Amino acid sequence: MGGRLQLSLPFFAQDTSGTTPLYQKKFPWSNVPSRADTGDGPRGTQQGYNKCNSTTQNQYLLCQTMFLNSIQEFCLWGVFQPNSIVENIEGEMVAYCTTKKFGTRLIPSGAITGVQLTRTLGYIQVVGFINPTVPNLQEVHPLTLNGVFCYKACNPAGPNAPQLCQHIYDQIWLCIQCSSNYPSINGTYQSCQGENLLPAGTYIENGVTKTYQLPPESLGTITSIPHTASIPSVSNCFTYKDPAALWHNFPKTQTVANTSSTVNRKGVSSSTSDGSKQKA
């Protein structure tokens, strides 16, 4: 899922080699390449593609470009075929979006049961709840866990972008990067303005600003942290009463559940329900 959401905003160095870290790749929106990563380095070749548009949209696409624009227009990462183990195919995750205009797969109707999109001076963040029975979208750790998801895209022109979207804390992403009033979000659909969250890992104790240091990975799963991340305030929230009107492109069923795909280092061939082939 390289680069998280910083590749998903409309300000994609023009470098598609396999040597440049993916999070450092940026492309003009008018010149997004077919694949952001054409190299065959240690991480292998890119399985999907990035140049997607509304004329190519269907539920079998391997589009790997993520968007986070508004409550009407955002995407979630999901697996490209059912029953996949996320840890094994993380680099092949594809985008599922709320609208056809991006040329990605669509999030199925009923998948999102609550959402709050917040726009601050430093980032756009969408948090929400997802129906755990929906195929392909259940667990995308650390972005989705136990039916809760959070995606955050920082403005790269902002003075504090690296700190606000710091990824060394991915093991505890939902706890530290996406502190929100989750109980009030479930069952509602809101778009808000808000204050920046403190930089990841930063907290204030007795008036003193401190930074939480992650323990070595060799110690295993992190079961507790020494502080509770503060919840930034939100304001000017607009509540949408009908999610069907909010996302009218959602398909009624998840049509990819009966497809099969074969993955190799050079591309993906996916069989559609009518037996035709699509080649990435």
Tell me the percentage of the chain whose pLDDT exceeds 90: 25
Residue 279 falls within a domain, yes or no? no
Hey, which of 55-59, 150-154, 254-258 has the most confident mean pLDDT?
A: 150-154
Distance of CA 15 to the CA centre of its chain: 22
Dihedral sign for Cα 189, 195, 200, 201, please. Answer: negative
Q: Identify the DSSP state of 252.
A: S
| pLDDT bracket for residue 99 (50, 70, 90) | very high
CA distance linking residue 277 with residue 260, whole number of Å: 11
Residue 260 falls within a domain, yes or no? no
CA distance linking residue 112 with residue 131, whole number of Å: 6
Query: Taking the CA of residue 53 as centre, how many other CA atoms within 13 Å lie in the half-sphere pointing to its CB?
Result: 8
Mean pLDDT of the chain: 76
CA distance linking residue 149 with residue 63, whole number of Å: 20
Q: Domain containing 134: what range?
A: 4-255
CB distance 229 to 201 below 8 Å: no
pTM of the predicted model as reported, rounded to 2 decimal places? 0.77
| pLDDT bracket for residue 145 (50, 70, 90) | low
Residue 274 falls within a domain, yes or no? no
Tell me the percentage of the chain whose pLDDT exceeds 70: 75
* Predicted confidence (pLDDT) at residue 6 exceeds the cutoff of 50: no
Number of domains making up the chain: 1
CA distances (Å), 154 to each of 51, 70, 272, in order?
22, 14, 36
Residue 262 falls within a domain, yes or no? no
Residue 103 falls within a domain, yes or no? yes
Distance of CA 129 to the CA centre of its chain: 14
Residue 261 falls within a domain, yes or no? no
Predicted confidence at residue 214, as pLDDT, reads 74
Hey, which of 2-6, 27-31, 91-95, 239-243 has the most confident mean pLDDT?
A: 239-243
Number of H helices, E strands in the chain: 4, 14
Predicted confidence at residue 120, as pLDDT, reads 94
Residue 271 falls within a domain, yes or no? no
Mean pLDDT of 81-102: 83
